[in-house]
Amino acid sequence: MKTLLVTGGAGFIGSHVIRLFVNKYPDYHIFNLDKLTYAGNLLNLTDVENKPNYSFIKGDIVDGDFIMNLFKEHQFDGVIHLAAESHVDRSIENPMEFVMTNVIGTVNLLNAAKAVWKDNFEGKRFYHVSTDEVYGALGNEGFFTEETAYDPHSPYSASKAGSDHFVRAYHDTYGLPVIISNCSNNYGPNQFPEKLIPLFLNNIRNNQPLPVYGKGENVRDWLYVIDHAAAIDVIFHKGPDGETYNIGGHNEWKNIDLIKVLINVMDRKLGREPGTSEKLITYVTDRAGHDLRYAIDSSKLQNELGWKPSLQFEEGIEKTVDWYLNNQEWLDSTTSGDYQKYYEEMYGHR
Ligand code: NAD
Ligand code: DAU
């Protein structure tokens, strides 16, 4: 029996990682530690919540004493660390929350692992889940590789870069057995509707304006969330200590082109005339410090560990749209209360 701590498991990507590990590894006990911020939702995990190899713990990674005691109590063999403040726009409004959770929270976990594992690192692993945004922005050409120098531009990406540096420092200084991955934009079921795809699907459904930042010319490289979870599984089990792997599906889209795909699929599924919802497109003030383009070279992961994306974008978008249309209860639960206030503050004045 192995005990594994997954942080942020009630969030978007974390819930898919939990589902994969709980079902695939009945001989692991998976502890899901999550603060249940606005982005954490236990509805994401109803299908696994009663499994004997799964436990949920509500707690804050910023609380160093709590984290240290948790590690002493459970003697985890491995950590998959996803808990984070994850939305760029929120980081522009409130950078300090990002420093606290993403930097201090990560260092608390590193300190606890180091203290409890002492110098006996045999069979132990600290996996830090990071983002391609640490590399900054590309022009029209080229890709981020694992050698690309860090150049973060938003408070979010700066805090993730800081956490990556601490993880590597604990490897180089104390020999902690760490591994890091940097992934591109994820999409799929259970993503909080502040991020582009679920926000726009919800707004198309409700005939609300689609707030396109700037001219809609920024480019993102989209990966289906279940493929990210599969990559995390492969890297966690097969990647050598101290390594970094980029994860991405070579699937670049200019925002405005992607938005038109979303409109086409939604209009078809809602029985509207093709293109009806294009009238909802509303160009608004650009995001401050908006990175032009992200694109990942994941050849190291593909060549060394044999991972590759399982599906094409068109199929992933169909599945995603179906999920949001069939899960109105989930959407309603996430878009009530504080969400309305957030939306008004974020988009009311644009
Ligand atoms: P998310 O915002 O959907 O979920 C984050 C989870 O962390 C939530 O359940 C939240 O309750 C929890 N959390 C936040 N602060 C916490 C704290 N102080 N203590 C304990 N739990 C806390 O995020 P996501 O999109 O699922 O991203 C997960 C991880 O993957 C993040 O580290 C993010 O940087 C990284 N990542 C995300 C993407 C993407 O496209 N979404 C791409 C690459 C990397
Ligand atoms: O690249 C990985 C990153 O992808 C993750 O690390 C982050 O956690 C995740 O949030 C995501 O960051 P982005 O900023 O790229 O994602 P977002 O969905 O916020 O925006 C995608 C693009 O769409 C971006 O160019 C900004 C634009 N956008 C976004 C929103 C929310 C709009 O034009 N209008 C919007 O309302």
Q: Where are the beta strands (DSSP E) in 105-251?
A: 125-131, 178-183, 185-187, 210-213, 219-224, 244-247
How far is it, in rounded angstroms, from Cα 338 to Cα 342? 6
Q: Specify which residues 178 forms β-bridges with.
A: 126
* 5 alpha carbon – ligand 1 mean position (Å): 15
Q: How many domains does the chain have?
A: 1
> Given the CA of residue 160, which atom of ligand 2 is nearest to it?
6
Can you give the pLDDT of all 350 residues of the chain as single tens digits? 799 999 999 999 999 999 999 999 999 999 999 999 999 999 999 999 999 999 999 999 999 999 999 999 999 999 999 999 999 999 999 999 999 999 999 999 999 999 999 878 999 999 999 999 999 999 999 999 999 999 999 999 999 999 999 999 999 999 999 999 999 999 999 999 999 999 999 999 999 999 999 999 999 999 999 999 999 999 999 999 999 999 999 999 999 999 999 999 999 999 999 999 999 999 999 999 999 999 999 999 999 999 999 999 999 999 999 999 999 989 988 888 788 888 888 888 66
Q: Is 257 among the domain residues?
A: no
**Residue from 5, 13, 57 to probe ligand 1 pocket by mutation (most atoms less than 8 Å from CB):** 13
If one counts every other C-beta atom within 10 angstroms of the C-beta of residue 235, the result is: 25
Q: Is 330 among the domain residues?
A: no
How far is it, in rounded angstroms, from Cα 187 to Cα 277? 21
Q: Is 198 among the domain residues?
A: no
**Domain that residue 176 falls in:** 2-188+222-251+288-312
What is the pTM assigned to this prediction?
A: 0.98
How far is it, in rounded angstroms, from Cα 294 to Cα 258? 14
What is the per-residue pLDDT for 1? 72
Q: Is 217 among the domain residues?
A: no
* Catalytic annotation present for 156: yes
How far is it, in rounded angstroms, from Cα 324 to Cα 247? 25
Q: Is 244 among the domain residues?
A: yes
> Given the CA of residue 291, which atom of ligand 2 is nearest to it?
25
Q: Is 7 among the domain residues?
A: yes
Q: Is 271 among the domain residues?
A: no
Q: Which of 5, 11, 117 is nearest to 57 (CA)?
A: 5
Beta strand 219-224 pairing with 28-34: unpaired
Report the CATH number at residue 161.
3.40.50.720
Quick: pLDDT tens for 64-120.
Answer: 999 999 999 999 999 999 999 999 999 999 999 999 999 999 999 999 999 999 878
Pocket lining: 132 vs ligand 2, CB cutoff 6 Å: yes
Instruction: Answer whether 8's CB lies under 8 Å from 83's CB.
Output: yes
Quick: pLDDT tens for 244-274.
Answer: 999 999 999 999 999 999 999 999 999 999 9
* 21 alpha carbon – ligand 2 mean position (Å): 27
Q: Is 35 among the domain residues?
A: yes
* Catalytic annotation present for 224: no
Instruction: Answer whether 294's CB lies under 8 Å from 144's CB.
Output: yes
* 102 alpha carbon – ligand 1 mean position (Å): 9
Q: Which of 281, 237, 261 is nearest to 4 (CA)?
A: 237
* Catalytic annotation present for 132: yes
Q: Which of 54, 127, 135, 156 is catalytic?
A: 156
